[in-house]
């Protein structure tokens, strides 16, 4: 009998749905069964506001402890919830193709977010979304909420809230059906969290070579480059993954375009950049990925992507971004 590969996942319906997609893909690669191992994280039991408890590892720490202790063989995370610092002994072995990275507003009657009447209630728990709602619909009241997708949708259906803001990728992975009306928010005007729509497949550095190779087969190069740029901006700002900032990168060939914005908590102020770079040998030579012909011919494009993200973060800081990222959102 073939020994199952054990996949550690949070217990939420969304986490298990997205882990199930990865499990199916890995079963096709290896011909071995993949067994889901549900693990309860702090984020699943602590119902306080994300803006109060912070996002640094709240959904990942317990899963990583389980992986390092041998309770499972690999993990699947929502990448936007993952701190930029990877613990010693662990490695992101794959980033599968990204789902829709946009946010979606759901309402009963289809009124666009910017047209909601004064006093309308909009539910979201993320500081970045709170700031964006306050910019887009300044007369609405933002309600800080937690809970799974179904419970959030139910609060609009019941009339308790007039709208909620959710990730399009989560709705897609859950195949969530609802009578509510959807408004997709364009990434040019409403960029989302670094890594939104992406998954991170994580294992140990000393995992069997066969497993590492199988997981690597799930990796999608353009997704990895894009999320590397986005997360390097977050890292360079020295901000936690619940900071009121957004970054979205698009890769076409060797070219990367990244739109990034840092918001004040009230949404009144913002600092943004829209940058396009070609991650070829010339960029690598200019940004310290190596030297001479080796830099042009054989340098790691992921390294160049990270350097681009860090450069963008420095430009944001030079323009005053540190004044907008409040101290409670800074990483320790």
Q: What is the DSSP annotation of 177-193?
A: --SSEEEEPPTTTS---
76 near 203, Cβ under 8 Å? no
State the Cα torsion 145-147-149-155 to the nearest 10°: -60
User: What pairs with residue 103 in β-bridges?
Assistant: 167
Rounded distance between C-alpha atoms, residue 230 and residue 259, angstroms = 9
**Which residues neighbour 63 within 8 Å (Cβ) at sequence distance 6 or greater?**
8, 9, 10, 39, 41, 75, 77
170 near 16, Cβ under 8 Å? no
77 near 95, Cβ under 8 Å? no
**Which residues neighbour 297 within 8 Å (Cβ) at sequence distance 6 or greater?**
281
Query: Both tokens of residue 52?
Result: 């109060």
Rounded distance between C-alpha atoms, residue 250 and residue 198, angstroms = 13
Of the residues 73, 81, 103, 162, only one is catalytic, namely 81
**Residue among 3, 2, 7, 1 at smallest CA distance from 215:** 7
Q: What is the DSSP annotation of 247-287?
A: EEEEEETTEEEEEEEEE-TTSS-EEEEEEEEE-SHHHHHHT
Strand duo 163-167 + 121-123: pairing: parallel
Rounded distance between C-alpha atoms, residue 323 and residue 65, angstroms = 35
* 141-143 β-sheet, strand order: 141-143, 121-123, 163-167, 103-107, 181-184
81 is a catalytic site residue: yes
Annotated catalytic sites, by residue?
Answer: 81
């Amino acid at each position: 009998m073939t020994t199952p590969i054990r996949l550690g996942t949070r217990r939420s319906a969304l986490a298990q749905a997205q882990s199930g997609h990865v499990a199916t893909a890995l079963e096709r690669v290896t011909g071995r069964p993949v067994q889901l191992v549900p693990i309860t994280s702090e984020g699943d039991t602590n119902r306080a506001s994300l803006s109060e408890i912070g996002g640094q590892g709240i959904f990942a720490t317990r899963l990583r402890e389980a992986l390092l202790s041998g309770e499972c063989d690999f993990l699947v995370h929502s990448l936007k919830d993952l701190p930029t610092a990877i613990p010693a002994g662990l490695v992101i072995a794959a980033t599968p193709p990204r789902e829709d990275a946009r946010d979606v507003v759901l309402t009963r009657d289809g009124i666009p977010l910017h047209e909601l009447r004064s006093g309308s209630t909009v539910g979201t728990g993320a500081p970045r979304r709170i700031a964006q709602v306050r910019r887009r619909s300044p007369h609405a009241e933002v309600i800080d909420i937690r809970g799974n997708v179904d419970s959030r949708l139910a609060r609009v259906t019941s009339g308790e809230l007039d709208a909620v803001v959710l990730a399009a990728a989560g709705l897609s992975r859950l195949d969530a059906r609802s009578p509510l009306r959807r408004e997709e928010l364009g990434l040019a005007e409403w960029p989302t969290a670094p890594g939104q729509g992406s998954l991170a497949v994580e294992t140990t550095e000393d995992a069997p070579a066969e497993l590492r190779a199988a997981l690597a087969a799930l990796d999608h190069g353009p997704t990895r480059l894009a999320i590397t740029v986005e997360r390097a901006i977050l890292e360079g700002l020295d901000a936690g993954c619940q900071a009121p900032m957004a970054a979205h990168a698009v890769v076409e060939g060797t070219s990367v375009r990244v739109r990034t914005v840092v918001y004040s908590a009230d949404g009144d102020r913002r600092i943004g950049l829209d940058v396009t770079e070609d991650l070829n040998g010339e960029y690598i030579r200019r940004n310290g990925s190596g030297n001479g012909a080796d830099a042009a011919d054989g340098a790691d494009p992921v390294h160049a992507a990270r350097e681009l993200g860090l450069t963008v973060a420095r430009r944001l800081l030079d323009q005053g971004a540190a004044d907008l990222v409040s101290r409670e959102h800074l990483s320790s």
